[in-house]
Amino acid sequence: MWNSFFINVKGSIRNPSNVFWVLAFPVILSSLMLGLLGNLDDTRAAVPQPFAIVEDANWQANPAAGRLVCALSRAPSSGTNDDAPQLLKPKRVTSTAEAARRLDDDQAIGYLYADSDGLVNMVLSDRDAAAIQADNTASEGIAVSILSAGIGRFNQTSSTAAALARQDPRLLTSSGFQTLVRSGGQTYTRRISLTHIHPSMTAPYFFALLGMACLIGASTAASMITMTQPNLSALGARRASSPSPKWRQAAGAFMASWLFSAVSLLVAYIFIRTVCGVETGGRDPLALLAIAAGTFMTTSFGTMMGAIPKIPTETKVGLVVGIDCTLSTLIGLYGSSTMDLNNAIQEHAPILHLVNPVKQVSNLFYDIVYYDSLAPFASTCGIVALMSAVFLAVAALLLRKQRYEYL
């Protein structure tokens, strides 16, 4: 068995098709996905926007307006719990005409100015206002929405202070007014997280890629098992004349394929973790267990496909690849439309995902990242183990019925 194992390991390494499709292709596809989806997370976050600040006489008459701009343009300090995002990249000008010129030259998306009442107003360029109206979920729209809310609260507080000052200036120093001012920045809700780490918009796509890469490794097992069949392979005919029992040859091929698939998926996982920046929240050891369990299941699937009699190697490998690509479509690998299909299946027909080996491998990584409990991961491991047992049982049944002469 060990002799068969080492021979198959050497053969898989020397096979250019295996090296490309099982080892290199997932890394190449990850690079392409990084280029296509790398800024997807950024579109859901507030990004500082260039604004002109008109520091004319009205602005100078309201010192609080300057402090507001400083607060909105200050980047949050690293290592603190300050969640306030930086919203402004200010450029100070002396007149609204100069600010309008910056908008025309595409140097700013808008400007802030103070009116005669000391209230801060925001003006957006027609170009950027139309873009935000068309897609208010983009980073520019999110920043402008938060900025508008902040300016509105500032103006409300300023108007209240001005009204109280006209009535009785002493009210501005009263404890009631100070409590009112501070309550504007208070919240009565507590922030909690329903996931193990902060969710990533791109992670499900990369987990789907890992599922696809895992099942494509089944083609190696299908090829190796076929090479143990004398009627389909010249090498299998020579092996049949050896004194080694057939089960040892099949076991050696299975273990060699499992090792090659696991190492290949580990390389893809390391690339996705380090280069693509997909976080696991410190659960990398569990990810190694997921790689071992997932590749064992897909190797079992490949063994079952390889055990099918009277079908040549090329056809079996083509069937594995075709099944892999089809099942990957159902789990959202090929873009947002297929991801919507994945979500629809999960909601309305979850049984299709339950019997989908690519989805279950993807779930192994998804459960690690998105659940604070390990119960979903353990459940998925149980499903993967059950699939492995079924595939191996069918493979053993098919191989058991095939009889060839051997010494």
51-102, pLDDT tens digit by residue? 999 999 999 888 888 888 998 888 765 444 445 678 899 999 999 999 999 9
pLDDT at position 81 is: 47
User: DSSP code of 23?
Assistant: I
**Closest of 120, 102, 123, 101 to residue 111, by C-alpha:** 123
CA 48/CA 292 separation, integer angstroms: 43
pLDDT at 240 over 80: no
Q: What are the extents of the domains in the chain?
A: 2-40+200-400, 43-179
Strand partners for 111: 52, 123
**pTM for this prediction:** 0.71
pLDDT at position 79 is: 45
pLDDT at position 406 is: 46
**Closest of 49, 236, 35, 44 to residue 128, by C-alpha:** 49
Residue 123: enclosing H or E segment and its boundaries? strand 120-124
Residue 3: enclosing H or E segment and its boundaries? helix 2-14
Q: Band the pLDDT of 400: cuts 50, 70, 90.
A: confident
Mean pLDDT of the chain: 84
Question: Is the pLDDT higher at 272 or at 155?
Answer: 272
16-45, pLDDT tens digit by residue? 988 999 999 999 999 998 888 766 555 556
| Sheet of 49-54, strand order | 88-93, 49-54, 110-114, 120-124
Residue 144: enclosing H or E segment and its boundaries? helix 139-167
Three-class secondary structure of residue 109 per DSSP: coil
CA 360/CA 380 separation, integer angstroms: 7
**Closest of 264, 258, 267 to residue 388, by C-alpha:** 258
pLDDT at 177 over 90: no
**Residue whose structure tokens are 């501070």:** 182
